[in-house]
């Protein structure tokens, strides 16, 4: 058989499983940091880079967590030098997630010097009492200070994460946070409705009846978000994600409708779009998921076990799964429908091998009839009501 060249994977996620303190609502795999474990993790991560590097030419890189910014300057130097040695630099988009309490000018400059060009900062709220309520380690002042410091280090693509429907958050508090966050002038916003994850203190408080969930207020807050985002020149391109379009060089030349099926807004997160479009990616670090050539993997959610495996020269993979093609196509459909642009039919077929119109004809016409979706010759996308209920829509596409 003739040799078939394999195209290297172009997307890389790295999980950093440490935080200064665990927030009340968070179920991501992370733990309060200990110096020795972090050192061991950094060495193991370098080993994992070495194992995958021959099959990796990253166009997008995302260091998430946990709190990647908690690593110190020396640990970052070790990681970045290893990436340089393994020819993993040069991504078009390279994001590092930060907590405002652990950003420093030196780290920011070091990241820039290796080509990191995007920072995503966990803010959640700009109300001091709510930050406290959520168990955040930073004040509102630290958000402004860190933002300024990142700008001075040369970051011109900054995302802020916010949360709404937090217990105790009134509409006035949410509006004020949105106003201040947008006035800061960042390029991107990710706004998440609180999810009550099992095994978190917030979930336990809800179960104990310490507060109740107000679904109507949550819906009103989402509406407020959509209104303010568009007033401030942000374009929604996914349920929770907004990219600034009105930069100083003027408004975007194309209206959303004309562009919706072709290209996302300039500051949209390319790395996440690759997930939603069913693309391949390597996931390194404890608990990280990966998807490479149809095979889904998940690393052990245990930092010590992760280190031990890599010290023995093996990847720390807990599970490998190859989904049946139709199941995978259904998942890909559901993910892509989270985006305002929905699915261009041709692109869906290229990605999955299935014709969306044919395979899900009944679901598509039902969703259009109830005004949750629109369809035309090019593609299928959810309306703003459909997007609000995207999780329920997703269920219908799974086979
Ligand atoms: C891994 S954290 C990112 C940055 C950093 N760890 C921090 O919190 O400062 C990713 C984001 O997910 C969101 N998030 C985490 N848990 C959530 C939950 N239970 N419900 C809604 N959003 C959540 C938060 O907005 C958080 O900033
Ligand atoms: S939200 Fe961020 S800082 Fe808080 S525990 Fe989760 S990962 Fe850590």
DSSP alpha helices (H): ranges in the chain? Answer: 35-52, 73-85, 105-113, 128-133, 140-152, 171-184, 201-207, 215-231, 256-259, 270-276, 303-311, 325-336, 345-352, 356-359, 361-369, 384-388, 390-397
Residue 345 Rama label (left phi>0; alpha psi -120 to 50; beta): alpha
How many whole angstroms from 274 Cα to the centroid of ligand 2? 23
The protein residue whose alpha carbon is closest to atom 14 in ligand 1 is: 26
CB 35 within 8 A of CB 82: no
How many whole angstroms from 383 Cα to the centroid of ligand 1? 26
**Whole-angstrom Cα distance, residue 377 to residue 355?**
13
pTM above 0.85, yes or no: yes
Q: Which one, of 387, 399, 388, lies nearest residue 336 by Cα?
A: 387
Report pLDDT digits (tens) over 140-187: 999 999 999 999 999 999 999 999 999 999 999 999 999 999 999 999
Distances (CA, A) of 283 to 17, 108, 291, 385: 13, 23, 8, 33
Please tell me the least confidently modeled range out of 19-28, 71-80, 247-256, 351-360. 247-256
Q: Which one, of 378, 352, 375, lies nearest residue 364 by Cα?
A: 375
CB 300 within 8 A of CB 286: yes
Distances (CA, A) of 279 to 21, 55, 296, 302: 33, 15, 11, 26
**Whole-angstrom Cα distance, residue 278 to residue 292?**
10
**Whole-angstrom Cα distance, residue 162 to residue 140?**
12
Please identify, by atom number, the ligand 2 atom nearest to the C-alpha of residue 137.
3
Cβ partners under 8 Å of residue 312, min gap 6: none
Residues with CB under 6 A from ligand 1: 25-26, 28, 64-65, 67, 97, 99, 122, 124, 161, 163, 192, 194-195, 197
- Residue with the larger pLDDT of the pair 116 and 294: 116
CB 33 within 8 A of CB 19: yes
User: What pLDDT score does 261 carry?
Assistant: 46
User: What pLDDT score does 150 carry?
Assistant: 98
Report pLDDT digits (tens) over 43-64: 999 999 999 999 999 999 999 9
At residue 341, the 3 state secondary structure works out as coil
Tokens of 95: 């994001």
**Whole-angstrom Cα distance, residue 398 to residue 394?**
7
The protein residue whose alpha carbon is closest to atom 2 in ligand 2 is: 66
Band of the pLDDT at 245, cuts 50, 70, 90? confident
How many residues belong to the chain?
399
312, pLDDT greater than 80: yes
């Amino acid at each position: 058989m003739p040799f078939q060249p394999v195209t290297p994977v172009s997307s890389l996620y790295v999980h950093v499983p440490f935080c200064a303190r665990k927030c009340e609502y968070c179920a991501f795999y992370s733990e309060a940091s200990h110096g020795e474990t972090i050192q061991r993790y950094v060495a193991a991560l370098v080993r994992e880079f070495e194992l995958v590097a021959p099959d990796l030419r990253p166009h997008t890189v995302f260091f998430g967590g946990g709190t990647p910014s908690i690593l110190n300057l020396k640990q970052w130097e070790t990681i970045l030098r290893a990436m340089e040695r393994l020819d993993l630099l040069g991504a078009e988009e390279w994001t590092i997630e930060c907590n405002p309490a652990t950003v420093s000018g030196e780290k920011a400059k070091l990241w820039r010097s290796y080509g990191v060009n995007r920072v995503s900062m966990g803010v959640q709220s700009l109300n001091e009492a709510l930050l406290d309520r959520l168990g955040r380690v930073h004040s509102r002042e630290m958000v402004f200070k860190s933002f300024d410091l990142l700008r001075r280090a040369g970051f011109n693509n900054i995302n802020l994460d916010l949360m709404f429907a937090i217990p105790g958050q009134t509409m006035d508090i949410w509006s004020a946070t949105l106003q201040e966050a947008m006035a800061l002038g960042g390029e991107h916003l990710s706004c998440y409705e609180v999810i009550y994850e099992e095994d978190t203190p917030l979930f336990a408080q809800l179960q104990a009846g310490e507060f109740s969930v107000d679904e109507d207020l949550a819906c009103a807050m989402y509406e407020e978000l959509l209104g303010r985002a568009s007033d401030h020149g942000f374009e929604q391109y996914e349920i929770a994600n907004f990219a600034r379009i009105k930069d100083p060089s003027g408004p975007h030349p194309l209206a959303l409708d004309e562009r919706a099926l072709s290209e996302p807004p300039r500051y949209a997160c390319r790395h996440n779009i690759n997930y939603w479009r069913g693309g391949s990616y390597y996931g390194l670090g404890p608990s990280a998921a990966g998807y490479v050539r149809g095979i889904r993997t998940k690393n052990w959610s245990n930092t010590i076990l992760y280190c031990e495996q890599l010290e023995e020269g093996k990847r720390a993979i807990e599970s490998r799964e190859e989904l049946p093609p139709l199941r995978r196509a259904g998942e890909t459909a559901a993910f892509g429908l989270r985006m305002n642009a929905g699915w261009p039919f041709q692109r869906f077929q290229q990605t999955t091998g299935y014709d969306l119109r044919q395979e899900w004809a009944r679901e598509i016409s039902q969703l259009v009839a109830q005004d949750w979706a629109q369809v035309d010759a090019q593609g299928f996308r959810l309306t703003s009501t459909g997007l609000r209920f995207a999780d329920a829509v997703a269920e219908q596409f799974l086979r």
